[in-house]
C-alpha cells in the first residue's frame, strides 16, 4: 500500500466537474487542496489514500470551479431595483449618473461589502469590479480592501474619465462626473496600482470608463500605464448601437478599429459588452488576444442587444461572463448569466445549436479565468484552489440526467452551499465567514435611502405594486 498523502482540505464523494480541456466529470470524485492550490483531482477511489485536516463530504453535490464575474459594479447594490424601463443612455443620464455623483466613499464601501457577500453566496470567487464612483485614492483602495476582506479574488478596475469631451457633452454626461484632469486620473491610478500591484489577491487596473466619451489621449495613456505597470486594463465598449456611430461621426473611425490602429488592443485589454462590433473588429480582437466580458442579463434589461458570441468564441477570444452590477444585472448570479447567455443567442439566431450549456459553463469558469489573468477556472492539480459546491438534492434539480445542463439551466446561486477561494472556505452553511451579512444589509439600506434622496431619484414605496393590486 502506498503511503498516505496529506492535504489541508479534501472534498470527497461529489460529482466533480473539472471544466478541463476534455470536459472530464468524475461522477464520484474528490479534490485535494494544500495551501492555496489544488494538489490532486480524480475519482474517489483514486484519492482514497489522502488524509486531510478538514474533509467535506460532498455526496449528493457537485464540485466545480468558482465563477469569474468579468464585469460588475459592486457599489451599485445601493440602487438595486431602480431605473426601470430605460435604455442605456437615458438610464445613465436620468438614473445612474445622478446616483454616481451623489455617492460618497463610505456609501460605495457599504454597497461593495453587501454585493461581495452576495457574490460569495452565489459561487463567485473572482470579480472585476469596474469602480467609478467615487475614485479618489482612499476610496479606490478601500473598495479593494473590502473585496479582499470578504474573501474574494479579483481586480478593482478604477474608472477613468478625465475632462469632459465634446462627445460626452452631446450624450448628456453631466459636468459633475468629470472631477479630475487627465494627469490627476493617471496619478491616482498609478498610486493605487502601487498599493495593489499585479499578483495581489485584489489588484487595481486602469479603466478608461468608456471608449466612446473618454478622450482618446487619455485612453491611450491608460493603456500605456497598464503596459508599464504590468496590469490589464478595462473599458466599456460598444454597449449601445449608438456608440460606434457617434464615434465615427466624431473621429472618423470605429472604437475597436481605432484601438487596433493605435496598437492599444492587446492581451491586456478587457472590453465590457462589445455588442456592436463589425467583422473587422471581431477579427482584430481575436488577433490581439484581447478579452471580452459578456453581460447577457443587463444587456437584456437595457435592451442593448446581444453579442456575436459564436463568431468571437470560434476565433478563440476569451469571452467571460459578467453580471454588470446589481443595478442592471440585479443579482450577482452567474447561473442566471449562463442561462441567459445561451437563451439570448438562440433567440437572436433562431438556432438552438448557436450556444450550448457547456459553452456557458466554460465562459463562467475557464474562459473567465483566462480573461482575468488568473490560474484558476479548472479543477486540476496546480491550479488555484477557487471552487464551489452545489447541492443537487433539491426539487428543481431532480431527477438528474445531464449534470452540466442541469447546472446551467436549472441551478441558481442559492444552491451553492460552499465557496472556497485561495484554498479557504469563505462561505459555508448559509453564512459568509468574513462578512456580517445582517449588519452589511442594514448599513447598505440606510445609506441607500440617503443616497437616493440626495440624488433626487424617484423611488416608489416598497409595497407600491401590492397597494395597486399588482402584487
Q: How many domains does the chain have?
A: 2
Q: 312 and 404 share a domain?
A: no
Beta-sheet pairing, 431-432 with 424-428: antiparallel
> Do 106 and 224 lie in a common domain?
yes
- From CA 339, how far away is CA 342, in angstroms rounded? 5
| pLDDT for residue 89 | 85
**Does the residue 267 lie in any domain?**
yes
416-433 b/e with 16+ CB inside 10 Å = b? bbbbbbbbbbbbeeeebe
Average pLDDT over residues 267-277: 98
Provide the grid cell at 145.
480592501
- Domain membership flag for residue 467: no
Last residue of a domain, one of 327, 351, 372: 372
59 and 71 assigned to the same domain: no
Residues 61 and 71 in one domain: no
Residues 177 and 284 in one domain: yes
Does 464 score more than 70 pLDDT? no
Residue 444, C-beta contacts closer than 8 angstroms, at least 6 positions apart? 77, 78, 110, 111, 113, 114
- Establish if 437 belongs to a structural domain: no
Same domain, 194 and 334: yes
pLDDT score of 122 more than 50: yes
User: Residue 239 pLDDT > 50, yes or no?
Assistant: yes
Least confident of 84-98, 330-344, 453-467: 453-467
List C-alpha distances in Å: 147 to 75, 232, 251, 397.
11, 18, 38, 31
**Does residue 400 lie in a domain region?**
yes
Average pLDDT, whole number, for the chain?
A: 95
Q: Are residues 42 and 183 in the same domain?
A: no
Q: Given a cut of 50, is residue 470 above it in pLDDT?
A: no
**CATH code of residue 38:** 2.30.40.10
Q: Does residue 146 sit within a domain?
A: yes
**Residue 381, φ and ψ in degrees, nearest 5:** -60, 135
Q: 22 and 71: one domain?
A: no
278 and 180 in a single domain? The answer is yes
444-461 per-position pLDDT tens digit: 999 999 999 999 987 765
For residue 1, the model assigns a pLDDT of: 39
The CA distance from 127 to 73, in Å, is 9
Task: Classify residue 470: in a domain, yes or no.
Answer: no
Distance from C-alpha of 268 to C-alpha of 411, rounded to nearest angstrom: 33
Phi/psi for 74 (5° steps) reads: -60, -40
Say whether 223 sits in a helix, a strand or coil: helix
Is the pLDDT at 406 greater than 60? The verdict is yes
**Predicted local confidence at residue 469, as pLDDT:** 34
Q: Which whole number is the average pLDDT over 48-63? A: 97
Q: Give the domain-ending residue among 304, 338, 372.
A: 372
Query: With 80 as the cut, is the pLDDT of residue 468 above it?
Result: no
With residue 298 as reference, give the H or E element that holds it.
Answer: helix 296-301
Task: Please check whether residue 12 lies inside any domain of the structure.
Answer: yes
pLDDT at 3: 67
State the residue range of the domain holding 226: 67-372
pTM of this prediction exceeds 0.75: yes
Q: How far is the C-alpha of 297 from the C-alpha of 123, rounded, in Å?
A: 17
Tell me what pLDDT residue 448 has: 96
Q: For residue 189, how far is the Cα from the chain centroid?
A: 20
| CATH code (residue 182) | 3.20.20.140
Instruction: For residues 52 and 150, state if they share a domain.
Output: no
Q: Can you tell me the mean pLDDT for 13-37?
A: 98
Q: List Cβ neighbours of 403 (8 Å cut-off, separation of 6 or more).
A: 15, 17, 25, 62
Q: Is residue 403 part of a domain?
A: yes
Dihedral (C-alpha) 217, 218, 219, 222: value to the nearest 10 degrees? Answer: 130
Q: Specify whether 156 is located in the same domain as 261.
A: yes
pLDDT in tens, 133-186: 999 999 999 999 999 999 999 999 999 999 999 888 988 889 999 999 999 999
Q: What angle do CA 96, 304, 325 make, to 5 degrees?
A: 45
Let me know whether 259 and 394 are in one domain.
Answer: no
Structural domain ending residue among the three candidates 372, 392, 413: 372
Tell me the β-bridge partners of 391: 61
Predicted confidence at residue 460, as pLDDT, reads 67
Amino acid at each position: 500500500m502506498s503511503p498516505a498523502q496529506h492535504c489541508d482540505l479534501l472534498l470527497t464523494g461529489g460529482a466533480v466537474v473539472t471544466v478541463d480541456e476534455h470536459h472530464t466529470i468524475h461522477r464520484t470524485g474528490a479534490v485535494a487542496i494544500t495551501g492555496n492550490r489544488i494538489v490532486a483531482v480524480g475519482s474517489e477511489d483514486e484519492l482514497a489514500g489522502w488524509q486531510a485536516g478538514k474533509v467535506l463530504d460532498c455526496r449528493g453535490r457537485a464540485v466545480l470551479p468558482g465563477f469569474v464575474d468579468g464585469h460588475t459594479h459592486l457599489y451599485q447594490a445601493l440602487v438595486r431595483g431602480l431605473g426601470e424601463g430605460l435604455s442605456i443612455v437615458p438610464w445613465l443620464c436620468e438614473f445612474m449618473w445622478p446616483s454616481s455623483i451623489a455617492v460618497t466613499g463610505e456609501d460605495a464601501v457599504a454597497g461593495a461589502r453587501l454585493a461581495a457577500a452576495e457574490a460569495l453566496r452565489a459561487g463567485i470567487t473572482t470579480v472585476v469590479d469596474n469602480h467609478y464612483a467615487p475614485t479618489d485614492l482612499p476610496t479606490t483602495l478601500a473598495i479593494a480592501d473590502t473585496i479582499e476582506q470578504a474573501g474574494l479574488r479579483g481586480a478593482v478596475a478604477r474608472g477613468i474619465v478625465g475632462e469632459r469631451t465634446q462627445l460626452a457633452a452631446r450624450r448628456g454626461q453631466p459636468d459633475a462626473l468629470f472631477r479630475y484632469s487627465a494627469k490627476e486620473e493617471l496619478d491616482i491610478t498609478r498610486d493605487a496600482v502601487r498599493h495593489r500591484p499585479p499578483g495581489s489577491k485584489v489588484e487595481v487596473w486602469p479603466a478608461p470608463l468608456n471608449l466612446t466619451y473618454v478622450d482618446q489621449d487619455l485612453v491611450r495613456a491608460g493603456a500605456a500605464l497598464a503596459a508599464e505597470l504590468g496590469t490589464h486594463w478595462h473599458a466599456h465598449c460598444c454597449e449601445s448601437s449608438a456608440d460606434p456611430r457617434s464615434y465615427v461621426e466624431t473621429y472618423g473611425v470605429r472604437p475597436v478599429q481605432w484601438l487596433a490602429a493605435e496598437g492599444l488592443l492587446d492581451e491586456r485589454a478587457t472590453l465590457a459588452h462589445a455588442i456592436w462590433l463589425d467583422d473587422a473588429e471581431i477579427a482584430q480582437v481575436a488577433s490581439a488576444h484581447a478579452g471580452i466580458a459578456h453581460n447577457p442579463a443587463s444587456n437584456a434589461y437595457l435592451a442593448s442587444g446581444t453579442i456575436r458570441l459564436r463568431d468571437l468564441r470560434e476565433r478563440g477570444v476569451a469571452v467571460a461572463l459578467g453580471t454588470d452590477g446589481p443595478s442592471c444585472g440585479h443579482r450577482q448570479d452567474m447561473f442566471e448569466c449562463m442561462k441567459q447567455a445561451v437563451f439570448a443567442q438562440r433567440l437572436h439566431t433562431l438556432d438552438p445549436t448557436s450556444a450550448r450549456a457547456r459553452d456557458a459553463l466554460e465562459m463562467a469558469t475557464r474562459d473567465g479565468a483566462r480573461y482575468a489573468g488568473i490560474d484558476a477556472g479548472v479543477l486540476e492539480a496546480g491550479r488555484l484552489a477557487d471552487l464551489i459546491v452545489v447541492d443537487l438534492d433539491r426539487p428543481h434539480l431532480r431527477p438528474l440526467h445531464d449534470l452540466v445542463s442541469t447546472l446551467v439551466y436549472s441551478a441558481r446561486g442559492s444552491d451553492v452551499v460552499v465557496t472556497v477561494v485561495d484554498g479557504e472556505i469563505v462561505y459555508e452553511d448559509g453564512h459568509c465567514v468574513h462578512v456580517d451579512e445582517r449588519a452589511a444589509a442594514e448599513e447598505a439600506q440606510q445609506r441607500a435611502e440617503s443616497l437616493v434622496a440626495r440624488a433626487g431619484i424617484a423611488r416608489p414605496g416598497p409595497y407600491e405594486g401590492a397597494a395597486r393590486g399588482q402584487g
